[in-house]
Amino acid sequence: MAITASASLKLDKVLNLMLVAFKRRLAPITQFSTKFEAREVPRDHNLQVPFIPLEQMDSIDFDYSKGYQSGDFNVETRPVPVNKRKYQVLQFTMKDLLGLSVEVLDTSLAAKADKLGADVTADILSVIKAAKFGDAIASYADGVFDADSAADLSVNCGAANWPTVNRQLIVDEVWSRQLLKDPALRNAQASGSTATLRDGIIGRVSNFDVTPVPNLPDNGESLKGFAAFKYGILVANAPMEATEEVKERLSDYRLVTDPQTGLTLVYRAWGDPDMDSAKKTIEFGYGYAPGDANQIKRLTLSAPAQG
């Protein structure tokens, strides 16, 4: 069935709803320094991602005999190649587009976008290893990590001259559940909020914005979480360009872009008459690199005590 104007419009709506689901799952990554481009780029094309190291220069006492001294501006960029592509295969027909509501289509396809976001997040966080960011700052057994542990971590970040704002604490699902069960958080009513108890929202703990990542990779090093500042990881996203010869064989090709961030997915559709089959995919082109090693502090699972 040829795609009609009505089906094309509905497809646009569904793809944009999928982008929302994908962006929601990618939320931990968007806390880092990113460069998102809505234009197509060649494979391995470098995007210049903003990079700012932690400020190390001490404040200066004013000297009336010298006046104001010169300083430096330490904002720079680092090249990050767009060299990876992940995609999900979508299963629907033009008949489905015409016969089903946007809400039904979104419900059935949002899981695809969510899984794509989960897999991209896990891949990017695979860079959090000792070789790049040093030994773990602390280790805890399951069932031990709590609000007090976060407070200790905050002290360590302060000693490393981290600013007190925009600190992130990213933990796996087990440790996030431990925080949710912590009586110190459940019983805290100073703000009048019961979000921790009713909605499972941890919020801020000891100057950290806490983000659970259910699929946090342990990276073969028992990683359970990490404290992070913005420039610990650098991330680039852009659709990898398709040649004109490829586009000519596609029945549909479109970019799906978030107008606020530039985050972009690519939708492709094509058929194989020899196999009497059709394929539709949603794809994310990206790359990543470690940033400032001082802006990531790893947390690991401690080995069980020997009885």
pLDDT at 1: 47
pLDDT at 74: 66
pLDDT at 73: 62
- Name the token pair of 181: 């069960």
pLDDT at 66: 81
Taking the CA of residue 249 as centre, how many other CA atoms within 13 Å lie in the half-sphere pointing to its CB? 9
pLDDT at 5: 64
Selected from 3.30.420, 3.40.720, 3.30.160, 3.30.2320, the CATH number assigned to the domain covering 132-233+292-301 reads: 3.30.2320
What angle do the packed helices 102-125 and 5-25 form, to 10 degrees? 40
Strand partners, 82: 45
Which helix (H) or strand (E) segment is 99 a member of? Answer: helix 94-99
Q: Which residues of the chain have pLDDT under 50?
A: 1, 189-191, 197-199, 307
pLDDT at 204: 85
| Predicted TM-score of the model (pTM) | 0.86
| Closest by CA position to 74, among listed 52, 59, 56, 57 | 52
CATH 3.30.2320 residue ranges of the chain are 132-233+292-301
pLDDT at 301: 95
pLDDT at 28: 93
